[in-house]
C-alpha cells in the first residue's frame, strides 16, 4: 500500500504525482497562506491481482484508462509487448516504462509476465495549489531575490519593502525546463525568453499557455524582468496539469521523457556544428508522500546523463524521508524560509533537504488579463525556482560556453552547498541547515 500526500505534488511512484547526486548528508547508495495540498491518496494492491503487481487508484480518484507498466529489463521487453496493441512501445528515453490502455485480458496476461515489476493505474490527483496571499502583490523585486546575495538577514520588516536586484550573473548558457501548469508565453515580463516545449493532458498537445497560473509564477521567479532572479534566463515550458492544477501521473512521466529527448536533440545538433553542449536544469515544483520509485528512478537516470533536477521538499511540516522525489539523493531538494530567516513552519525538512530558499510571500508574474499581472504566493513550490536558477548561474559561471561538455550535476550541487550560508536559519530540526546564497557579480 502506498500513501500519496501531495503539495504541488504529483505522484508517480505509481499512478500519480503531485509535481543530482548526493551532497551533505545525502548518501548515495544505489501566518501566511501556504500552497498546501492536503489530499491523501492510498494506493492498495488490487485484491483481484494474483501476483500483487497491480496498483490501483484510491477510492474516488479518477482513472484515465491508461496504465503505467514498469519493465525490469527493457532489453527483454518482447514478451510483454506481444500482449499489447500493435505499435505500442516503451518510452523513447524512459525505456523501462510503457504507458498504454489495456483490455482486461491484456492486463491479466501482463500481470503474469516475470519481466514486469508492476502495473499502475493512471490516476488523477490535485497537484498544484495557488492559494494566494494577495490577489496582486507588490511591484517591487521580491525579498527573496535580495536575500540570495546578502550575507546577513535583511533589514526589513515588511515583505513588500523596496528591495533591489543585484547582478548575480547570467544563466543564459543553460536551458531551464519548467514542468508545471504551463507558462503565459506572451507575458511582457519574459521578453520572449520563454518558449513552448510540449503539453500533456486534457488541454491537448498544442495548448501553449497557462490556464492555472502556477507555472507562470514559477517561471517568473526564475527569469521575469520585474521579479526574477535572472532576466536573461532561457525557459522551456512543459505543461503537465489541467486548468484546476490536477494532473495524471502518466503525463508527468511523459513530460520528463519529452524533456530528456529534447535535451538530446539540442545537444546533438550543437555537437554536429561544433558548438558547446548547453547545461540543462529541470524545475519540478512538486512533491508527494510515497514509497514508490518511478519518478526517483527517472531523476537518477537524468542525473547520470548529466542533467540536474531541482525538486520541492513539500509543505507538510514533515521529514522528507517519506516524500518523493524530495528524498532522492540525486535531486537537489529545496525547503522554504521566511524573511526572518526562519524555516517556514509548513516547510518539510530532513537530512535529504539540500538547501532552503525564500518561499514565503513571493511576488511573481501571473496570468490575468492585464500586461502587469502579478500575484503573491507562498510554498516550497516558489523556493524551488530560486535554487533552479542559481544552479544554472553557477553552471554558466564555471562553464561559460567554452568547453564542449558541461561538468556533472554533482559539481553544481556541491557548489550550491559550499556557497550556502550554514546554520543561520532557526526552526530547522535537522541538518543540513543551509540557506541558498550566491555572491553578486562585481
Active-site annotation holder among 122, 129, 133, 180: 180
The answer to whether 191 is a known catalytic residue is: no
Active-site annotation holder among 214, 307, 382, 399: 214
Strand, coil or helix: 198: strand
- Which of 234, 187, 182 lies closest to 211, judged by CA? 182
DSSP 262-295: HHHHHHHHHHHTTPPPPPEEEEE---EE-S--HH
Q: Hey, how many other C-beta atoms are within 10 angstroms of the C-beta on 117?
A: 14
Backbone angles phi, psi at 105, to 5 degrees: -70, -35
Active-site annotation holder among 381, 382, 399, 437: 381
Angle separating helix axes 380-398 and 409-419, nearest 10 degrees:
110
Based on the number of CB atoms within 10 Å of its own CB, is 273 exposed (0-12), middle (13-18) or buried (19 or more)?
exposed
Q: Which helix (H) or strand (E) holds 415?
A: helix 409-419
Cell numbers 502587469: residue:
372
Look at the chain and count its residues: 442
Contact 8, 312 (CB under 8 A): yes
Q: Distance between CA 137 and CA 147 in Å, rounded?
A: 18
- Which of 2, 30, 27 lies closest to 432, judged by CA? 27
The answer to whether 437 is a known catalytic residue is: no
The answer to whether 381 is a known catalytic residue is: yes
Structure-block grid coordinates of residue 196: 513552448
Based on the number of CB atoms within 10 Å of its own CB, is 161 exposed (0-12), middle (13-18) or buried (19 or more)?
middle
Catalytic residues: 180, 214, 381
Amino acid at each position: 500500500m502506498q500513501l500519496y500526500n501531495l503539495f504541488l505534488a504529483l505522484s508517480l511512484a505509481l499512478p500519480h504525482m503531485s509535481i543530482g547526486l548526493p551532497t551533505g548528508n545525502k548518501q548515495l547508495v544505489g501566518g501566511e497562506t501556504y500552497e498546501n495540498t492536503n489530499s491523501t491518496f492510498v494506493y492498495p494492491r488490487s485484491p483481484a491481482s494474483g501476483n500483487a503487481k497491480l496498483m490501483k487508484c484510491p477510492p474516488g480518484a479518477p482513472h484515465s484508462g491508461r496504465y503505467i507498466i514498469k519493465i525490469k529489463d527493457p532489453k527483454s521487453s518482447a514478451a510483454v509487448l506481444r500482449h499489447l496493441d500493435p505499435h505500442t512501445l516503451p518510452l523513447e528515453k524512459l525505456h523501462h516504462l510503457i504507458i498504454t490502455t489495456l483490455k482486461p485480458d491484456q492486463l491479466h496476461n501482463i500481470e503474469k509476465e516475470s519481466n514486469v515489476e508492476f502495473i499502475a493505474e493512471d490516476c488523477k490527483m490535485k497537484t498544484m495549489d495557488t492559494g494566494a496571499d494577495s490577489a496582486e502583490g507588490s511591484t517591487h523585486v521580491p525579498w527573496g531575490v535580495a536575500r540570495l546575495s546578502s550575507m546577513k538577514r535583511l533589514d526589513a520588516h515588511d515583505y513588500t519593502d523596496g528591495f533591489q536586484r543585484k547582478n548575480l550573473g547570467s544563466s543564459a548558457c543553460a536551458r531551464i525546463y519548467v514542468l508545471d501548469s504551463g507558462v503565459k508565453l506572451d507575458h511582457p515580463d519574459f521578453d520572449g525568453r520563454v518558449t513552448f516545449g510540449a503539453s500533456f493532458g486534457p488541454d491537448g498537445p498544442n495548448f501553449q499557455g497557462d490556464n492555472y497560473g502556477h507555472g507562470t509564477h514559477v517561471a517568473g521567479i526564475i527569469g521575469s524582468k520585474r521579479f526574477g532572479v535572472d532576466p536573461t534566463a532561457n525557459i522551456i515550458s512543459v505543461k503537465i496539469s489541467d486548468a484546476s492544477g490536477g494532473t495524471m501521473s502518466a503525463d508527468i512521466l511523459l513530460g520528463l521523457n519529452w524533456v530528456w529527448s529534447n535535451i538530446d536533440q539540442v545537444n546533438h545538433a550543437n555537437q554536429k556544428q561544433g558548438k558547446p553542449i548547453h547545461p540543462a536544469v529541470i524545475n519540478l515544483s512538486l512533491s508527494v508522500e510515497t514509497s514508490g520509485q518511478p519518478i526517483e528512478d527517472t531523476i537518477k537516470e537524468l542525473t547520470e546523463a548529466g542533467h540536474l533536477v531541482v525538486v520541492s521538499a513539500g509543505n507538510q511540516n514533515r521529514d522528507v524521508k517519506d516524500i518523493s522525489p524530495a528524498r532522492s539523493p540525486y535531486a537537489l531538494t529545496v525547503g522554504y524560509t521566511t524573511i526572518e530567516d526562519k524555516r517556514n513552519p509548513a516547510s518539510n525538512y530532513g537530512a535529504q533537504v539540500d538547501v532552503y530558499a525564500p518561499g514565503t510571500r513571493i511576488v511573481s508574474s501571473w496570468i490575468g488579463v492585464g500586461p502587469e499581472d502579478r500575484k503573491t504566493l507562498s510554498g516550497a513550490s516558489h523556493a524551488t525556482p530560486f535554487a533552479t536558477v542559481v544552479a544554472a548561474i553557477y553552471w554558466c559561471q564555471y562553464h561559460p560556453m567554452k568547453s564542449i561538455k558541461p561538468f556533472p550535476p554533482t559539481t553544481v550541487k556541491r557548489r550550491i552547498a559550499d556557497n550556502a550560508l550554514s546554520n543561520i536559519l532557526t526552526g530547522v530540526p535537522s541538518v543540513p541547515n543551509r540557506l541558498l546564497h550566491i555572491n553578486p557579480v562585481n
